Amino acid sequence: MMADRLVCRECHRVQEAVEAEACDACGSTSLTEDWAGYVVISHPEKSAIAEEMGVTQPGKYALKVR
């Protein structure tokens, strides 16, 4: 876990700004530090994992968000 990072509870996107107040991807303000594991998706249109997670934008996504 990258303890100094926040993750969106809605779309699981890892926020690059440590002091983020809203998700860069979906705009949700429901962010958490309680998450584990992440995957980097560079080509969501070609990724089975992105399809399973519902990801449509490239980026870092948490696998487990509490």
Return the structure tokens found at 33: 């530090």
pTM recorded for the entire structure: 0.88
Q: At 24, which CATH number? A: 2.20.28.90
> How far apart are alpha carbons 27 and 47 in whole angstroms?
23
- Given the DSSP bridges, would you call strands 14-15 and 6-8 parallel, antiparallel or unpaired? antiparallel
**Does residue 1 have a pLDDT over 50?**
no
Domain with 46, as residue range(s), is 6-65
Residue 45 lies in a domain: yes
CA distances to 31, 45, 46, 54, 65 from 9, in Å: 6, 22, 24, 13, 6
- List, for residues 24-54, the tens digit of each pLDDT value: 999 999 999 999 999 999 999 999 999 999 9
- What are the Cα distances from residue 43, in Å, to 16, 18, 19, 60, 64? 19, 25, 27, 12, 21
3, pLDDT greater than 70: no
Mean pLDDT, the chain, whole residue set: 92
Number of domains in the chain: 1
Give the pLDDT score at 16: 84
- Residue 18's pLDDT is what? 79
- Write down the pLDDT at residue 2: 55
